[in-house]
Amino acid sequence: MYDLIIIGMGISGISASIYAKRAGMKVLLLEGSAPGGTINKISEIENYPGIISISGPDLAYNLFEEVNKLNIEYKLERVTDVLLDETKTVKTTSNIYVAKYLLIASGRRPKMLGLKDEEKYLGRGISTCALCDGALYKNSDVAVVGGGSSALSEALYLANIVNKVYLIHRKEEFRGEDTLIKEVEKKDNIELILNNEVTSLIIKEDKIEGLILKDGQKINVKGLFIYIGYIPNTDFLENTDIKMENGYIVVDEHHKTNIKGVYASGDVTKKDIYQIVNAASEGAEAVVYMVK
């Protein structure tokens, strides 16, 4: 029996676990992939106070080091279901755990374009992580799809590795940070393709050789990197009565859900700002309000 189970080992979940451990709670962290969550897929982080610049994997490693230093218990197991009675029961692929409180900090995952054979070529020409796969396309031409800060920053990262980057956005203007937009516009090997969309893949000998756009234009590329938004990781909550909007968990100012003893923090919640710094603070705040 735990005092608190935290689902997700991203920065929000780990931040919460640190505060819970220091408050004397018996806490368990659960993570279905790698500690650090989405941070592992960010090439460079330059907007976190006190850290001038750090790679995502390095920050994730530092977070995991702190978990180990504080002897916070964790299990790398994917959560499949939860039962939210007086006590909170969490089922994973391997075990069943019970706690007084539950904090959901499961984050979100990249949204895909919905192209034919998209899933088949994910990891084989299609990627959602430039840091993970960029080196595979050294001296080749690639395409990045998206108009937000993630698409802009990953296009800049790839531009230092590949021969050319086609940055494709379905609108006339980008919605990312102004500094990133200016950097992208200065890069000689980034070509902007606006008011357009990818409609299909060009496949030859079971490999991606190019893309066909909405206006009929064909682009010869070896890789496609997708950054068009996210889907919250709330599939395991299907059998609960937790209030959600478009899959995101609705919480109050204390990070409480509509169910007693259940809290949520970070990118899995419905909010206006999705940044590393507020995800970290939300995890800490949730525990502070929990133990008051």
Identify which of 159, 225, 149 has the alpha carbon closest to the alpha carbon of residue 191.
159
The letter for the amino acid at 93 is T
Whole-number pLDDT of residue 132 = 86
Whole-number pLDDT of residue 43 = 81
> What is the spatial distance between Cα 169 and Cα 144, in angstroms, rounded to a whole number?
9
Share of residues in the chain with pLDDT > 90 (%): 93
Per-residue pLDDT band for 158 (boundaries 50, 70, 90) equals very high
> Which domains does the chain show, CATH number per domain?
2-109+230-291 (3.50.50.60), 112-226 (3.50.50.60)
Alpha-carbon distances, residue 171 vs 148, 203, 213 (angstroms): 11, 26, 14
Element holding 54 (H helix, E strand): none
| Cβ 40 vs Cβ 11: under 8 Å | no
What is the pTM assigned to this prediction?
0.84
First to last CA, the chain: 20
Sign for the CA dihedral angle at 247, 250, 256, 259 comes to: negative
> What would the 3-class secondary structure string for 138-172 be?
CCCEEEEECCCHHHHHHHHHHHCCCCEEEEEECCC
Whole-number pLDDT of residue 44 = 84
DSSP, collapsed to helix, strand or coil, labels residue 273 as coil
Whole-number pLDDT of residue 116 = 93
Identify which of 281, 246, 224 has the alpha carbon closest to the alpha carbon of residue 105.
281
pLDDT digits (tens, 9 = 90+) for 106-125: 999 999 999 999 999 998 99
Alpha-carbon distances, residue 155 vs 152, 162, 163, 201 (angstroms): 5, 10, 12, 20
Residue 185 has pLDDT above 90, yes or no: yes
Per-residue pLDDT band for 292 (boundaries 50, 70, 90) equals confident
pLDDT digits (tens, 9 = 90+) for 193-230: 999 999 999 999 999 999 999 999 999 999 999 999 99
Report H helices in the chain: 11-22, 56-69, 130-133, 149-159, 178-186, 276-291
Q: What is the mean pLDDT of residues 77-101?
A: 97
> How much is the mean pLDDT over the chain?
96
Q: What is the mean pLDDT of residues 261-274?
A: 96
Residue 32 has pLDDT above 90, yes or no: yes
Residue 25 has pLDDT above 90, yes or no: yes
Beta strands 108-110; 230-232: pairing state: antiparallel
Residue 131 has pLDDT above 90, yes or no: no
Exposed e or buried b per residue across 237-271, where buried means at least 16 C-beta atoms within 10 angstroms of its C-beta: beebebebeeebbebeeebbbeeebbbbbbbbbeb
Identify which of 221, 204, 42, 248 has the alpha carbon closest to the alpha carbon of residue 145.
221
Identify which of 217, 105, 119, 224 has the alpha carbon closest to the alpha carbon of residue 162.
224
Residues assigned a catalytic role: 129, 132-133
| Cβ 232 vs Cβ 249: under 8 Å | yes
How is residue 131 written in tokens? 């840091």
User: What is the rounded radius of gyration, in angstroms, for the C-alpha atoms of the chain?
Assistant: 20
| Cβ 30 vs Cβ 92: under 8 Å | yes
